């Protein structure tokens, strides 16, 4: 999907992320000031700033897809975990002056997934499922779920319900998913009232192992 940013809500999210709890740098008062700060951080090769600035570029009128792609590419080269997942959409859709390429799409998702991006891990799981690589899809859903990602946990739970995930693997993943929560989320989860709505007990009717 196309990176979000540039509108009031997404700029506000970036704004919230910029306050430094150590140096107490004042937050920017305007969008223009925020953009200038991002540009400065970009010159310092801050890959997070590059990712944030790419969101701003993508929402320009008209969208600056080519600049966005180059910014994301550099952020990825500098080690950004999230940039590869956004880059992948350019290869999937053929935007930013690049040709559609399913191979590059998958390879870029793999890079993001290996760097720990749960977004890339989810997208890669779906891509592997599309390609018929079921075990690989399960692996990436399990990995993202253990990092606390709700959507991956939901997908992994669905596969458990179909009998494609062992009781042991499901139990271990639920445990790791729980551990990744905040204390408040964990309390809600244990009470059976979490937003995730995951099962706190393993249903006896589900299979013990793979067929």
The residue extents of the domains of the chain are 1-83, 117-211
Tokens of 153: 């946990």
Residues 80-114 have pLDDT tens digits of: 999 999 999 999 999 988 999 999 999 999 999 99
**pLDDT mean across residues, the chain:** 82
Window from 9-18, 132-141, 150-159 with minimum mean pLDDT: 9-18
18: helix, strand or coil: helix
Q: 70-102: buried (b, 16+ CB within 10 Å) or exposed (e) per residue?
A: bbbbbbbeeebbbbbbbbbbbbbeebbebeeee
**Would you give the DSSP letter of residue 79?**
T
Tokens of 85: 């997942």
Whether the per-residue pLDDT at 2 is higher than 70: the answer is no
Residue with tokens 């639920």: 174
Give dist(CA 117, CA 112) in Å, integer. 6
């Amino acid at each position: 999907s196309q990176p979000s940013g540039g509108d009031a809500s997404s700029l506000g999210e970036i704004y919230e992320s910029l306050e430094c709890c150590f140096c107490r740098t004042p937050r920017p008062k305007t969008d223009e000031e925020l953009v200038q700060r991002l540009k400065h951080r970009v010159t310092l090769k801050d890959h997070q700033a590059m990712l944030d600035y790419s969101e701003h570029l993508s929402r320009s009128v008209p969208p600056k897809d080519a600049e966005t792609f180059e910014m994301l590419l550099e952020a990825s080269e500098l080690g950004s975990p999230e940039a590869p997942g956004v880059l992948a959409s350019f290869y999937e859709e053929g935007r930013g002056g690049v040709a559609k390429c399913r191979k590059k799409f998958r390879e870029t998702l793999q890079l993001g997934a290996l760097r720990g991006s749960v977004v890339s891990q989810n997208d890669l799981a779906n891509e592997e499922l599309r390609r018929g690589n079921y075990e690989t899809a399960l692996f990436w859903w399990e990995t993202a779920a253990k990092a606390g990602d709700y959507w991956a946990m939901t997908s992994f739970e669905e596969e458990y319900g179909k009998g494609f995930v062992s009781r042991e693997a499901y139990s271990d993943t639920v445990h790791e998913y729980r551990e990744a929560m905040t204390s408040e989320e964990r309390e809600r989860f244990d009470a059976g009232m979490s937003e995730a709505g995951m099962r706190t007990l393993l249903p006896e009717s589900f299979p013990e192992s793979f067929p």
